[in-house]
Structure 1
């Protein structure tokens, strides 16, 4: 029993010593627990640039032909010749097709013969009148004979005039056998083939000719811009740019032609029409395009890359870089974003720098390490990849 009690006391003594040593060690300061400095966040930065900035109003428009004509026949006949190629550019007066002219030429010949007959009769009747008039003065002819001859001359004169009118009418019909383009433009799809009978009542006609040089565009903008646009038009020509539907390609540059005489009340918009030279034929009737109206140019506007602008619960903001390489969250007011550049109405100064990439690792007061050259390019690429991953 005494031996067991001795062993139990020895074990308790050892355990007590171990616990005391552990508490002593835990209470002692350890070098690994010293404060570790927070590393600077690598970012890409850009200067706030002061420059002249064009102010645009963006809308959606439809390209409209200046003139569009369906070439129809004004007479009935068989198409004997097609002289144009579908999609061909034509000038006003160019021959497009020909209708069999023989029936109409025969009518002209008939009316011409009638005219010649009546003219001959008129000459003879006038000669008789010239002979009877002196005889009346001498008493060798009666006044009734002279009056009858005068009436016959007048009747034949009227017949000649009627014949001349009929000849002109038949010549007009004969001219209609040549179907010509009434305007400069581009031909569309041919609606009737050679050898068929064409009629004035054919709805589709022969072909559609569309004028594309110059060409126009109708687009819409909010009615709140009406006064500004009207004022700019009073100062001089207003430039309008046409871009592809995805906004990546500039198609042409033109001039604002007019503002529609009414505001569309159902949508609260105004309709505008612009004209373009369309020298490269990139604008085509019926094409949907993006319209950009140059309202004015903002002198000494402050711009930053659009990627610098972030959105928060309180609105737009940027991270401005202080002199000690820390960042501040700066609320900003955006006037417009165009061409990858944001025009800042207020919130930053021209002497400052802002963070354009790497913001998601920042908070107000964070220290930053500004990247340059290839490092900045790699950071941009990495950021784009991370944003793309859901």
Structure 2
């Protein structure tokens, strides 16, 4: 039999340390309580998130405007007056009086070729002329004596006619020698290379002391006015090209350098290029130069089409997109639209498809926009003013 102390010890342990069955009941009760709290929390609805703030953006309504239908071709600027300077005689260059790029007047000396050989020829010819004149003087005096003797009946008519013939021969020889002397003197002018007209000296590939011949290129002289644009138009446009078509001469960046109109269309087709030559005069106020390569934009006609500013266009994967402010729930959201564009004209792209009149094209904050972002349309900023900035997030 257990002692009274042992029985008291067992009751004390049951009171202080619960049994395994009692522990399981405690854990089950705690789990049920947690589940009840979770279900109660699920039944309580979460508060709605605050509405997104609309981003102010500048917009412009799409409207139909006159858009020129044009094509761009490579064009060469040429002067109506340009000269390639080549000598007409052989010799060594003794002086070069000008430098490349120098403006010269008509008749101004550009270069000097050694004329000593020609001077010797001129002097020799002058000596020959003097001999012929001396012979003429003698024959003229002899003719006068023979005439007097013939009239006196001292000599025969044959002797008199021989004197007349000698005089005529010597007279012809003098005339020939004088003409040859003049020719040799004029030949001296070829040893001075002169500007044929007022213009600008081009590159000078020769140097002082070089030996030159008629095949040697000395330099060029260009008159930088009366310029024309040579435009080669494909034969596919043969039926459309005619005098009066507007032409814009532009650089590689699209900046307009000069405005003109076609005033000549060749009646023949270039066999090598299979194109038609058209010319357009260039205003004297332009800064174009002879032989300069430019782009010529030929306008065939004008049609009504929508346009979109260049800055409103984004390109993704080689395709063009614009954002428009689309109405939604009493407000506006950004909506990305795929557009098909033509070649840029100034600061605008003509739109071939994708937009309709009245669409509000977003002009500012393009980099911050995403599909469906709330926006607040604003009128476009004045020219030169910065567009409205998007609010910081």
- The answer to whether structure 1 residue 354 and structure 2 residue 361 are counterparts is yes
The two structures have a TM-score, normalised by structure 1, of 0.72
Structure 2 regions of 5+ residues with no counterpart?
1-13
1:49-88 superposed matches below 5 A: 49=63, 51-64=65-78, 66=80, 67-72=82-87, 74-76=89-91, 79=94, 81-88=95-102
Q: Contact 1:74 / 1:176 at 8 angstroms: preserved in 2? A: yes
Partner of residue 239, structure 1: 247
Residues 22-80 of structure 1: per-residue CA shift (max 9 Å, x gap): 23432x14132x4764554543312335555455433334555552413436243562x
Counterpart of 1:170 in 2: which secondary structure? helix
Aligned to 1:388: none
**Contact 2:57–2:388 at 8 Å: present in 1 too?**
no
Q: Does the aligned pair in 1 maintain the 2:269–2:275 contact within 8 Å? A: no
Distance 1:322 1:223, change over 3 A: farther
TM-score (norm 2): 0.71
In the alignment, does 2:299 pair up with 1:295? yes
Provide the secondary structure at the position in 2 that maps to 1:31: coil
Kindly report the root-mean-square deviation, in angstroms, between the aligned alpha carbons of the 2 structures: 4.3
Whether the 8 Å CA contact 2:333–2:374 is kept in 1: the answer is yes
* Residue in 1 that maps onto 2:35: 19
Q: Which residue of 2 aligns with 1:385?
A: none
- Considering fraction of residues, name the structure with more helix: 1
| Paired residue total | 366
**Counterparts in 2 of 1:154-303, with a 5 A limit?**
154-194=168-208, 196=209, 198-200=211-213, 203-205=216-218, 207-218=219-230, 223-228=235-240, 230-231=241-242, 233=243, 236=244, 238-243=246-251, 245-247=252-254, 250-253=256-259, 256=262, 258=264, 261-262=268-269, 273-277=279-283, 279=285, 282-285=287-290, 287=292, 289-295=293-299, 298=302, 302-303=306-307
Alpha-carbon separation, structure 2, partners of 1:71 and 1:102: 20
Partner SS, residue 196 of structure 2: coil
Distance 2:318 2:217 in 1: 60
Judging changes above 3 Å, is the alpha-carbon distance between structure 1 residues 378 and 358 closer, same or farther for their aligned structure 2 residues?
Answer: closer
Counterpart residue number, 1:93: 107
* 1:309–1:330 CA distance, 2 compared to 1 (3 A): same
- Aligned partner of 1:378 in structure 2 is 389
Counterparts of 1:110 and 1:5, CA distance in 2 = 150
> What is the CA distance between 1:167 and its match in structure 2?
0.8
| Offset of residue 186 of structure 1 | 1.9
- For structure 1, the 5+ residue unaligned runs are 383-390
